[in-house]
């Protein structure tokens, strides 16, 4: 049977597979359909195109740049990130998307150890825990999806958190995360800030004071560069050196020359970031208000998506109904979230289309 999402045959097995590979349950990314008519609100790509300056950097790449190996240290990009974050260059690590950065964090700092995360969070964490043989405890979120910081604090085990959380969009304040950091200096905290830039507070300013903190970031969402594959980590230099040891034992050139050049321009393009974040924030507000007017419950989001459910309509029915109208959103067949949809915030026009489609699926007054 072929998998609808990834097109791969699922029944295939080989006696040559290692035990680790046989036992794995790989992460399934959101669908990347080829149909151009589909309104794609399922993988939290940015609604706007990347900045003109980034496109100019992509177009100006030279044959010589491609003939040679890229800079294995990604010096220019790391300097730009360090400058933007007021950190030293040895406090920055870059990788091929933040998924790769997180995988390296896992192998260098979490493998073979007990780790705690939330029962409602990014679906890749249990996969890395399995791949790198960590014992994972999934701490339940509270009834309203709020993170139970006290429950995390009750254990000495390393904590992996997405902030804002996925798929809820709820953010912890810097102060709440600092409470965790200060509570136990021997507990490591990985804070995945993949949705940084849409309103949540970052904990990056705490790095100089806490050596038990590592932050990961992505250019996929905030900078509209999901296709370029660039992510980075920020931490004190000892943790970053651990990541570099893994990287140089895995792939010395994770970022190609074009990605390094374009990502550097993106990081330094503050006016584009301010403008695009304002567009998304406004569209998110309209989406939340529009959904609430139709009777949906919408969690307060600090990301470029909203998490929503309707008291009278099942998650599956809504997902299928939107799909029939050529709108693709994300839904998981998992306890706690099966009634909920995660909808990427599009442009104002796309949000209007989404709201019209939702209205057509809602019970009308006279039914
Ligand atoms: C999208 C996402 C990532 C991965 O981002 P890439 O940089 O595209 O690999 C990591 N963590 C969370 C929570 C995400 O939503």
Regarding the beta carbon of 231 and ligand 1, being less than 6 Å apart is answered: yes
Residue with tokens 């306890």: 335
Cα 361 to middle of ligand 1, angstroms: 31
Residue 118 β-bridge partners: 139
Cα 16 to middle of ligand 1, angstroms: 31
Regarding the beta carbon of 128 and ligand 1, being less than 6 Å apart is answered: no
What's the CA gap between 308 and 324, in Å, rounded? 19
Q: Which two tokens stand for residue 72?
A: 């294995």
- Torsion, Cα 40 225 53 259, to 10 degrees, reads -150
Regarding the beta carbon of 121 and ligand 1, being less than 6 Å apart is answered: no
Q: Which two tokens stand for residue 366?
A: 């006279």
pLDDT digit of tens for each residue in the chain (367 aa)? 444 554 555 578 999 999 989 999 899 888 888 888 899 999 999 999 999 999 999 999 999 999 999 999 999 999 999 999 999 999 999 999 999 999 999 999 999 999 999 999 999 999 999 999 999 999 999 999 999 999 999 999 999 999 999 999 999 999 999 999 999 999 999 999 999 999 999 999 999 999 999 999 999 999 999 999 999 999 999 999 999 999 999 999 999 999 999 999 999 999 999 999 999 999 999 999 999 999 999 999 999 999 999 999 999 999 999 999 999 999 999 889 999 999 999 999 999 999 999 999 987 755 5
Regarding the beta carbon of 226 and ligand 1, being less than 6 Å apart is answered: yes
How far, in Å, are 25, 93, 223 from residue 349 at the CA level? 38, 37, 20
Q: Ligand 1, residue 98: give the atom nearest the CA.
A: 7
Q: Which residues contact 307 (CB under 8 A, 6 or more apart)?
A: 145, 167, 168, 169, 298, 299, 301, 340, 341, 342
Cα 344 to middle of ligand 1, angstroms: 14
Regarding the beta carbon of 200 and ligand 1, being less than 6 Å apart is answered: no
Q: Ligand 1, residue 44: give the atom nearest the CA.
A: 1
Cα 44 to middle of ligand 1, angstroms: 9
Q: Which residues contact 295 (CB under 8 A, 6 or more apart)?
A: 310, 311, 312, 362
Residue with tokens 């409470």: 179
What's the CA gap between 191 and 52, in Å, rounded? 30
Regarding the beta carbon of 166 and ligand 1, being less than 6 Å apart is answered: yes
- Three-state secondary-structure class, residue 298: strand
Nearest CA to ligand 1 atom 2: 194
What is the model's pLDDT at position 1? 44
- Domains, the chain: 19-49+271-361 (3.90.1150.10), 58-268 (3.40.640.10)
Q: Which two tokens stand for residue 17?
A: 């597979």
The H or E element spanning position 235 is strand 231-235
Q: Among 120, 194, 223, 330, which is best to mutate for testing ligand 1, by the most ligand atoms less than 8 A from CB?
A: 194
Cα 218 to middle of ligand 1, angstroms: 6
């Amino acid at each position: 049977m072929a998998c609808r999402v990834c097109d791969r045959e699922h029944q295939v097995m080989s006696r040559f597979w290692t035990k680790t590979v046989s036992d794995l349950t790989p992460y399934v990314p959101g669908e990347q359909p080829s149909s151009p008519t589909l309104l794609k609100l399922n993988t939290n790509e940015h609604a706007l195109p990347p900045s003109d300056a980034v496109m100019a950097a992509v177009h100006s790449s030279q044959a010589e740049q491609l003939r040679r190996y890229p800079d294995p240290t990604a010096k220019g990009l790391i300097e730009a990130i360090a400058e933007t974050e007021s950190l030293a260059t040895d406090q920055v690590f870059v990788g091929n998307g933040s998924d790769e950065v997180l995988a390296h964090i896992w192998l260098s700092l979490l493998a073979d150890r007990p780790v705690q995360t939330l029962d409602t969070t990014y679906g890749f964490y249990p996969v890395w825990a399995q791949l790198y043989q960590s014992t994972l405890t999934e701490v339940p979120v509270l009834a309203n999806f709020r993170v139970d910081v006290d429950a995390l604090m009750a254990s000495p085990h390393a904590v992996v958190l997405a902030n804002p959380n996925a798929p809820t969009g709820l953010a912890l304040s810097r102060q709440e995360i600092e409470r965790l950091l200060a509570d136990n200096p021997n507990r490591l905290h990985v804070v995945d800030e993949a949705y940084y830039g849409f309103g949540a507070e970052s904990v990056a300013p705490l790095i100089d004071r806490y050596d038990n903190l590592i932050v990961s970031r992505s250019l996929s969402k905030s900078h509209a560069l999901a296709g370029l594959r660039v992510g980075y980590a920020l931490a004190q230099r000892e943790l970053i050196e651990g990541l570099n040891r893994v990287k140089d034992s895995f792939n010395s050139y994770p970022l190609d020359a074009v990605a390094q050049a374009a990502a550097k321009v993106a990081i330094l393009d503050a006016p584009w970031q301010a403008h695009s974040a304002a567009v998304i924030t406004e569209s998110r507000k309209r989406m939340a208000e529009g959904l609430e007017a139709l009777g949906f419950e919408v969690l307060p989001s600090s990301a470029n998506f909203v998490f929503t459910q309707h008291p009278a309509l099942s998650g599956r029915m809504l997902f299928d109904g939107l799909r029939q109208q050529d709108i693709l959103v994300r839904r998981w067949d998992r306890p706690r979230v099966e009634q909920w949809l995660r909808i990427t915030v599009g442009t104002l026009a796309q949000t209007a289309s989404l709201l019209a489609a939702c209205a057509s699926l809602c019970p009308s007054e006279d039914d």
